[in-house]
Amino acid sequence: MIPELGQLSLILSLCLALLLGIVPMIGSYTGHRNWQALAKPLAAGQFVFMSMAFLVMAQAFATDDFSVAYVANHSNSQLPLAFKLSAIWGGHEGSLLLWAYMLVGWTLAVAVFSGNLPRIMLARVLSIMGLVSTGFQLFMLLTSNPFTRLLPYPPADGGDLNPLLQDIGLIIHPPTLYMGYVGFSVAFAFAIAALLGGRLDAAWARWSRPWTIVAWIFLTMGIVIGSWWAYYELGWGGWWFWDPVENASFMPWLMGTALIHSLAVSEKRGIFKSWTVLLAISAFSLSLLGTFLVRSGVLTSVHAFASDPARGAFILAFLIVVVGSSLLIFAMRAPAVRSGSGFSLFSLETFLLVNNVLLVTTCAMVLLGTLYPLLIDALGMGKISVGPPFFNTSFVPLALLMALTLGAGVTARWKTGAGQYLLQQLKWVAIASVALGLLTTFIAHEGFQIRVAISMTLVFWVVLASGKSILNRCRHKSSLWVGLKAVPSAVWGMHTAHIGLAVAIVGVLMTSMYGVERDLRMEPGDSVELAGYTFRFDGVRPQQGPNYLSDYGTLLVTEEGRQVATLHPEKRMYNVQGSVMTEAGIDAGLTRDLYVALGENVGGDAWAVRIQVKSFVRWIWLGGILMSLGGCMAVLDRRYRMRVHARKTEMTDAVGAAARV
């Protein structure tokens, strides 16, 4: 009975979404105020019913209701409760439910937090989100109903969640990532609403900015968590594979990053507006493309859900309708006239333009690499696969060019900009960066390496230029401290995110250049030395987990006779699916990770063991965290908080006034 209530909620939510997509939109053209005003209650109602559907699903998982096909396929009575609940998004139908729920959540958030938007604009934004939501809920009900029952003979127990996914990483990775994907729908809705109203102005850019940044923060964290999860869960120390689905999350991120920068120009200088709108459409379109790629079976990937041609066809049609109609609106309504205000060659506008070109080029490169096998195949020119070498060789130079532009960009000023000024500002920064870059490669024990020298120079370039830019702001203040305190939080955020990029580059560079690994056969008592650490193998013993049996290894790590860590790599045999998973034993550190994975038993007490010392690997994720942190600081800036505050006072005034009457 209860699952049917879930399905009913879903249908009601779809009806409300459809109303939301139609009524306020028509109202915005006919001028019916109460039609426009319906947007908010409809968004709220949609959220209520979607929440009910989601809760029903959670209840079915928590109580092991295996009469629901989706629960039977993805959960098991032995599974710990936390994994039962996270199994909600462990498969296609449930993750779609989560996706739709989040979209509805974002819609509600826009309804609640956009009190200062003009009524018509708000009605259109919510209406557009309602249309997108309608598409997703239709998709769910027509092709992927999560509440389908296995009646009258439900299985006695479930098929269990893929062991790869029974991990804290899975509990948080997909929701975070989806929050980012879906969050771009807000920027998208703002862009389309602005196009429809013919109001591509600074106000539109200012409204879009915080929403875009919040979505971008989630997406950044989602990617970081995914990479970290792959690192410790897949068991061979890789952290990025250029897998099609990883690419599908990376492309919206690149576009979103470009969008954040482009929105800044549109807000401050009123230019690049058509470009910004196009980026907003692209970022969300690429999120939709990601959904299509994962769920249609067009590309094979570790992430791929069980594919079904009907689903693929539906998403493809949906994708073409949503993106096609927005691009058509774009072609008809975007300002075709070049904006009047010019800017000079060394101005901030130029550097942001270069930044955008680089980010979009990178995105196009990733898109090409991801779709190339499909393209060649469709043209009947044979079959190929594109591997990491293609992506690495094209990505690295682009990323380094971005770092180069970044240093100059944070120093340059709006509109006017003389090469002379930049030279004078950055002369010492450049000299110091090259000196420090060269110094790093000589300190590192393997002698001079040109790749390290260039990359580290650019890393120092970004950090020093950012530092210099902050100091410049403090120059005319009475003391450094007073100056630093006066720097707005948004500016701190920007620099934090930029330094995050530098930190991530250090991580990628050092891990690939100085990481070492050994594979060997070890018997209890055997020792091996690697990068100054001694690893002693203390054997493997069996251990019983909640729903698996584990071979639990122990390695003692010492450095110059001093104990550094005890590592416990494991091999887990999951009872229900009979699959074996490796859990790496990791000792994390700021400058290195000690990483041990257990292979097979190779006779007697001897085991195959893979030992890795991964230099600075944490910095990759630390960089991502700094970027997200920077985003948070930008969103929490006073100018956004003041608006909320102003609205609150307005509201209390209104309530007060109402009370007096």
The contact set with another protein (CB under 8 A) reads 164, 230, 234-236, 241, 243, 274, 278, 281-282, 285, 292, 296-302, 304, 309, 312-313, 316, 319-320, 323-324, 327-328, 330-331, 334, 336-337, 371, 373-375, 377-378, 382-385, 387-388, 519, 578-580, 599-600, 602, 608, 610
Helix (H, G, I), strand (E, B) or coil at 561: coil
Q: How many CB atoms sit inside 10 A of residue 494's CB?
A: 21
Query: What is each CA distance from 138 to 55, 129, 132, 141, 545, in whole angstroms?
Result: 19, 14, 10, 5, 41
- Tell me the two tokens of residue 490: 């948004």
- Tell me the two tokens of residue 158: 């479930």
Work out how close the CB of 380 gets to another protein at its nearest, in angstroms, rounded to a whole number.
10
Given the complex with another protein, which of 564 and 580 has the nearer CB atom? 580
Given the complex with another protein, which of 4 and 519 has the nearer CB atom? 519
Work out how close the CB of 238 gets to another protein at its nearest, in angstroms, rounded to a whole number.
8
The two beta strands, 607-615 and 516-522, are antiparallel
Query: What is each CA distance from 636 to 165, 190, 252, 567, in whole angstroms?
Result: 34, 21, 23, 40
Given the complex with another protein, which of 235 and 417 has the nearer CB atom? 235
Work out how close the CB of 434 gets to another protein at its nearest, in angstroms, rounded to a whole number.
34
Work out how close the CB of 342 gets to another protein at its nearest, in angstroms, rounded to a whole number.
17
Work out how close the CB of 273 gets to another protein at its nearest, in angstroms, rounded to a whole number.
12
Nearest to 219 by CA among 284, 142, 293, 303: 284
Given the complex with another protein, which of 26 and 313 has the nearer CB atom? 313
Burial label for 561, CB within 10 Å (0-12, 13-18, 19+), is exposed
Given the complex with another protein, which of 377 and 523 has the nearer CB atom? 377
Neighbouring residues of 426: CB distance < 8 A, sequence distance ≥ 6 = 407, 408, 411, 465, 468
Residue 607 CA to residue 539 CA, distance in Å, equals 8
Contact criterion met (CB below 8 Å) for 175 and 93:
no
Residue 215 CA to residue 220 CA, distance in Å, equals 9
Query: What is each CA distance from 75 to 1, 52, 97, 513, in whole angstroms?
Result: 20, 21, 16, 42
Work out how close the CB of 576 gets to another protein at its nearest, in angstroms, rounded to a whole number.
11
Given the complex with another protein, which of 213 and 278 has the nearer CB atom? 278
Given the complex with another protein, which of 26 and 328 has the nearer CB atom? 328
Residue 203 CA to residue 270 CA, distance in Å, equals 10
Contact criterion met (CB below 8 Å) for 376 and 382:
yes
Given the complex with another protein, which of 220 and 301 has the nearer CB atom? 301
Given the complex with another protein, which of 78 and 274 has the nearer CB atom? 274
Work out how close the CB of 54 gets to another protein at its nearest, in angstroms, rounded to a whole number.
28
Residue 366 CA to residue 223 CA, distance in Å, equals 15
- Tell me the two tokens of residue 660: 């007096």
Is the Cα dihedral 206, 208, 210, 212 positive or negative? Answer: negative
Given the complex with another protein, which of 183 and 569 has the nearer CB atom? 569
Given the complex with another protein, which of 100 and 289 has the nearer CB atom? 289
Query: What is each CA distance from 499 to 166, 252, 504, 621, in whole angstroms?
Result: 34, 21, 9, 13
Work out how close the CB of 449 gets to another protein at its nearest, in angstroms, rounded to a whole number.
21
Work out how close the CB of 120 gets to another protein at its nearest, in angstroms, rounded to a whole number.
24
Work out how close the CB of 378 gets to another protein at its nearest, in angstroms, rounded to a whole number.
4
Work out how close the CB of 155 gets to another protein at its nearest, in angstroms, rounded to a whole number.
15
Work out how close the CB of 612 gets to another protein at its nearest, in angstroms, rounded to a whole number.
12
The C-alpha torsion from 362 through 368 and 370 to 371, rounded to 10°, is 160
- Tell me the two tokens of residue 496: 């934090």
- Tell me the two tokens of residue 251: 């492309």
Given the complex with another protein, which of 20 and 617 has the nearer CB atom? 617
Contact criterion met (CB below 8 Å) for 208 and 187:
yes
Given the complex with another protein, which of 212 and 612 has the nearer CB atom? 612
Work out how close the CB of 316 gets to another protein at its nearest, in angstroms, rounded to a whole number.
5
The two beta strands, 548-559 and 592-601, are unpaired
